[in-house]
Chain A
């Protein structure tokens, strides 16, 4: 074992000496053939050995920079291959595969993005309040895409404008419990006045 270790050390040493001799010879030959080289190198502060080392550093720096630049890109673009939840999958009509839109970077866009905001406004205006039930279509990122039949998604988006309206619709009509305040007056069936019905209650002592 020790023989092997010391053997490799001896080999390393002898190889180092041989390589150093070669290196020195090549360096001497270069400067002998081109005597003006030293002056040029000094003038521009060039170190021949460092040219290669610097180029390696540039490559490493570029790789590190590229990795840092890629982090926000990767974070901002989750994998589109993830399967949506089961309920969502069943409830929406997915477009045909050939209709998927590819952006210039080659990623497939969520189908919700293809609905332009102006088109949505038009469709909501045409459908009136019934169009409001489809709250998912108005989500800009298309995350709620395909949840047409799902109930409130406030838990998902927080209580923001993104949450679709509640199904009972009382809040939208301004009808809260105990707050009718006669808004419904006049709408009910009034019926005829008791006198018009000719109902005469018997007075005291009067025989019926």
Chain B
């Protein structure tokens, strides 16, 4: 676990889907890193939407200094108690899109 919301996102499904494609080891993990980056952008977008603009700077600074700190989630819940669900939902939708593309490539 490297970021405070990792337990809400999870890359296991994508890892398994990529494993089915049978790619070389390096390609597999490069793609997994890209998927991680996509999810990161999407989740950060949701977080900044629920957080008032005045707090963006403080949050980004704290997130950069302590990415793993679970207190960030506690802090965000003060602004939106349903932030956990929103992050989960965003991650699920993003992963679905990626999986659809993966299926198309598998069929080729």
Residues of A within 8 A of B (CB): 8, 10-12, 14-16, 18-20, 22-23, 26-27, 29-30, 33-34, 36-37, 40-41, 43-44, 46, 48-49, 51-52, 54-56, 58-59
Contacts and interface: CB of A to CB of B under 8 A. Distances in A.
Interface residues of B, number: 39
A52 B45 CA distance: 16
B21 A15 contact: yes
B2 A55 contact: yes
B73 interface: no
Contacts of A23: 34, 37-38, 41
Per CB-CB distance, the 8 closest pairs between chain A and chain B, nearest first, are A26-B41, A55-B67, A19-B34, A55-B2, A12-B27, A46-B64, A30-B45, A18-B101
Contacts of B24: 8, 12
B52 to A, nearest CB: 12
A8 B42 CA distance: 29
18 contacts: A8-B21, A8-B23, A11-B106, A12-B23, A14-B108, A15-B23, A15-B105, A16-B31, A22-B94, A26-B38, A30-B42, A30-B45, A37-B48, A44-B64, A46-B64, A48-B40, A52-B40, A55-B68
B44 interface: yes
A8 B3 CA distance: 32
B38 A51 contact: no
Contact of A26 (B27, B42, B60): B42
Interface of B: 2-3, 18, 21-24, 27, 30-31, 34-38, 40-42, 44-45, 48-49, 53, 56-57, 60-61, 63-64, 67-68, 94, 97-98, 101-102, 105-106, 108
B49 A33 contact: yes
A44 to B, nearest CB: 5
Given A30-B44, A36-B56, A55-B67, 18 more contacts: A8-B22, A11-B105, A11-B106, A12-B27, A14-B105, A15-B31, A18-B105, A19-B98, A22-B34, A26-B37, A29-B45, A30-B42, A37-B48, A43-B57, A46-B61, A49-B37, A51-B64, A56-B2
